[in-house]
Chain A
């Protein structure tokens, strides 16, 4: 079955630590995205990548970093510079080009900072 996997489902970290969230897709999609979801605020775009070895900042990139070394993988690192990292993080992918290309989502990772 093709899809997107995110791991782990729940993640706890101590304040001041960096943590990396995994996202893998086998849909052969060129584009991948990271969103943050907080209650009552919908989805906010952190970073996106349209092709391997290239990525762009989204609306709330401060305190986050990404890499895109392989087409299938787009890991997100939440650094200690992120002031309020506790949230639900969603990874998505899509084909590039075309007006109607929907995004496919993973199951999400819930990060809690202790």
Chain B
């Protein structure tokens, strides 16, 4: 079945360092790919998404490119800030097993990022 694998955390960086969080996936067909962010004690927020191969999603200085040849969607940011400390989740839209054509999300386990001043 469909699956998402993220690099394990925690990741600890100094402010202004370069960030990469790896995400690879296994899926049939052509899924959409997402990065969500969860700040401490809160729900998840969509950070960026890409719906087809070679699309680049970007938001708040974060970027990720949908690479079908390597089945990857790595998250990058050129210069992290303390306020970026959070847990980051990679997800893909998979075909639902039930009736209807709505797609459930398949989630990675999350990668915790801590940025020190």
Contact = CB atoms under 8 A, between A and B. Distances in A.
Contacts of B102: 30-31, 50, 94, 96-97, 101
Nearest to B50: A100
Given A41-B109, A42-B108, A48-B104, A100 B44 contact: no
Contacts of B45: 105
Interface residues of B, number: 29
Interface string A31-64: 1010000001111010010110010101000000
21 contacts: A4-B43, A42-B108, A42-B110, A43-B107, A48-B96, A50-B102, A56-B97, A56-B99, A92-B44, A97-B102, A99-B31, A99-B51, A99-B103, A100-B49, A101-B93, A101-B102, A102-B34, A103-B105, A104-B46, A105-B44, A107-B43
Contact of A40 (B49, B101, B109): B109
- Contact size range, A: 20 to 34
Interface of B: 30-32, 34, 36, 41-46, 49, 51, 89, 93, 96-105, 107-110
Contacts of A4: 43
Nearest to A58: B104
Interface in A16-40: 30-31, 33, 40
A107 B89 CA distance: 16
A62 B37 CA distance: 28
Given A6-B43, A102-B46, 17 more contacts: A4-B43, A56-B96, A56-B97, A56-B99, A58-B104, A94-B102, A96-B101, A97-B102, A98-B103, A99-B30, A100-B93, A102-B34, A103-B105, A105-B45, A107-B42, A107-B43, A108-B43
